[in-house]
Amino acid sequence: MLEDRMVYLRGDFVPWSDAKVHLMSHSVGRGSAIFEVLSFHDTVHGPAVFRLDEHMDRLLASAALLGMELPMSREEFHRAVLETVRRNGLREGFIKIICFYSQVAFDIFPPQRMLDASIFAVDPAQDLKGMHFPFEKGTTACIPKWRKLDPETVPVEAKAAANYLNGIMAKEEARKRGFEEAIMLDTQGFIAEGGTESIFLVKDGRLMTPALGTVLKSISRKSVLEVARVMGIETVEGRLRPELFFTSEEIFFSGTPIKVLPVRQIEERVLDKVPGPVTKKLFEAMRDIVSGKDERFKAWLFPVS
């Protein structure tokens, strides 16, 4: 249960119920928090965090893009993440790092540049009533009216809380229309990403995904591309037109909770075979990697103990 979890907060570990911030804090009122969501897995060598180094790099990059100062070094965050999982005695689940301004503020500017840091670790089965991503069944998606934030309006590569209202609106429209997920276009009409996931297509055996620039530098996206290249699958990163959704053989999402999730329906089009062969190969490859069975990618796993 969540009430049993210990939370890293400002250099100490506190009970879940004590991890609080004032409602008038700057990050609550203005959305000025940055965060990371990581997965950890029960591998053949014990619990391990997936690509912890990449997540730390992106956290530092988000702070730099937004002119924020983190209260800890990369190495201190690294140690605190592993210790949070250890303290909670968990084998697999998710970690969320939230860096925020805790001070009460009426002004649009934060009272100081230095953020506070918190780290949470949860087991979805025990704490979140389960999070089910049926790979064999796949999911459904639509293209909402809401466009992905333009990189000339805010730094879209910063994993900032305020930026996610964009994805929330897109997902809300999808649910109202009877779909499970949304795939947003950018302001130029090219494919961007899901509300909280990267998007991939397979056409003529080639794995295709939108190029960086208008989308988040997703670590799951990067991982899938790297694995595909090792497997000899041709990859294409570019400005992709939405018409491809209606001619591609396979479509899938990729994100922290599930590294590969096939799409069985996009708008009115129902795909013939789900999961498709490329999607299935990548799913199985990622499953072996996070379980520690593929020695070629052991550097991606950071043992908790």
Q: CB neighbours (10 Å) of residue 113?
A: 13
Active site amino acids: 159
293 sits in the region (left: phi over 0; alpha: psi -120 to 50; else beta) called alpha
**CA 223 to mean position of chain CA atoms:** 12
CA 176 vs CA 180, 251, 263: distances in Å: 9, 22, 18
Q: Which residues contact 213 (CB under 8 A, 6 or more apart)?
A: 151
State the Cα–Cα distance between residues 274 and 248, nearest whole angstrom. Answer: 12
- Residue type at 139? T
State the Cα–Cα distance between residues 269 and 256, nearest whole angstrom. Answer: 26
DSSP state of 188: T
Encode 274-298 in three state secondary structure.
Answer: CCCHHHHHHHHHHHHHHCCCCHHHH
